[in-house]
Amino acid sequence: MLLEITQITQHFGGLCALAGVSFGVESGSVHGLIGPNGAGKTTLINILSGITPATSGTLRFDDRRIDTFPAHKIASLGIARTFQNIRLFPALTCLENVIAGQHLIAERPLLPRLLCLPGAIRQEAVYKQQSLDILVRVGLADRADFSAQHLSYGERRRLEIARALASCPRLLLLDEPVAGMRRQEMLSVAELIHTLSQEGMTILLIEHNMAFVMELCSQITVLNFGSVITTGTPAEVGRHPEVIEAYLGKSDQDA
């Protein structure tokens, strides 16, 4: 188990956003995290990435406890994320945004790069080529020199995924990666996620597009009102009565 989430609870004042959430994510899997709006999905992702400390509970990544680590330390261990609300550097080009995502794996300190020393120049060329390769993977090679602010909504989504990939993560947290995308763009992202998983990357994704989740994920965890309803295969989750009720409400005959 690459990621173990145990009894994670989060209180915001008198509000309990998460109530003893527990589940695991297998190495190399695509694991879905679903639930109605307000179920606590993004709150959990914020805890996993170190943005928000949990009120209680433990997180273990590769058998190492990480729930007390700050965000930069968690990122340095190989956990990267995207955001529900896109967070790019709008004035930078696509290429520059992806290069910025490589800061965690940069082999040389900042000073030699600022002084344009030969070794630093060679390394910068490597980072640039690696970033271009990532843009190819997400279908943005022809937008490398475009400012992020001039991209379409779907393109900005893909650029955020590209920037997350630049740090060579072992665990990728995707918060609604295909929200607002056209069908062809969604298919492209689905193919990318499948390929990353085949290459050994572990992915935990939040997504409201149920067809997307059911097609890609080997395991799905369902949250409602901050608690886990169930974790199982897409088939098991799809026929679970509490999951059906959470999404569709009780039928008239059950009222």
* Rounded Cα distance, 86 and 161, in Å: 10
* Rounded Cα distance, 20 and 131, in Å: 39
End position of a domain, from candidates 109, 132, 167: 167
Residues 245 and 229 in one domain: yes
Residues 237 and 255 in one domain: yes
Residues 62 and 178 in one domain: yes
Residue 230, both tokens: 């169930």
* Rounded Cα distance, 220 and 234, in Å: 6
Residues 60 and 109 in one domain: no
CATH number at residue 64: 3.40.50.300
Residue 16, both tokens: 């309990």
End position of a domain, from candidates 167, 197, 232: 167
pLDDT of residue 106: 56
pLDDT of residue 57: 97
Residues 116 and 129 in one domain: yes
- Residue-wise pLDDT tens digits, 47-77: 999 999 999 999 999 999 999 999 989 999 9
Asked if residue 83 is part of any domain, the answer here is no
End position of a domain, from candidates 134, 167, 200: 167
Count of the separate structural domains present in the chain: 2
pTM of the full predicted structure? 0.88
The CA distances from residue 20 to 44, 56, 69, 94, 210, in Å, are: 11, 8, 20, 40, 25
Other C-beta atoms lying within 10 Å of the C-beta of residue 70: 11
Residues 71 and 175 in one domain: yes
Other C-beta atoms lying within 10 Å of the C-beta of residue 218: 13
Range of the domain at 162: 88-167
Residues 152 and 192 in one domain: no
* DSSP type of residue 6: E
Residues 176 and 253 in one domain: yes
Residues 157 and 50 in one domain: no
Asked if residue 125 is part of any domain, the answer here is yes
pLDDT in tens, the chain (255 residues): 999 999 999 999 889 999 999 999 999 999 999 998 889 999 999 999 999 999 999 999 999 999 999 998 999 999 999 988 888 999 999 999 999 888 766 555 555 555 555 666 677 788 889 999 999 999 899 999 999 999 988 899 999 999 999 989 999 999 999 888 888 888 988 999 999 999 999 999 999 888 899 999 999 999 999 999 999 999 999 999 998 888 766 544 443
pLDDT of residue 120: 61
pLDDT of residue 246: 81
* Rounded Cα distance, 72 and 79, in Å: 10
Residues 124 and 185 in one domain: no
pLDDT of residue 124: 77
Residue 7, both tokens: 């009894």
Asked if residue 52 is part of any domain, the answer here is yes
Give alpha helix (H) positions in the chain. Answer: 41-48, 71-76, 94-100, 110-114, 118-137, 153-165, 183-198, 210-216, 234-238, 241-248
pLDDT of residue 225: 93
Residues 151 and 99 in one domain: yes
Q: Which residues, including other chains, have CB under 8 Å from residue 145's CB and lie 6 or more apart?
A: 93, 94, 95
Residues 157 and 135 in one domain: yes
Asked if residue 203 is part of any domain, the answer here is yes
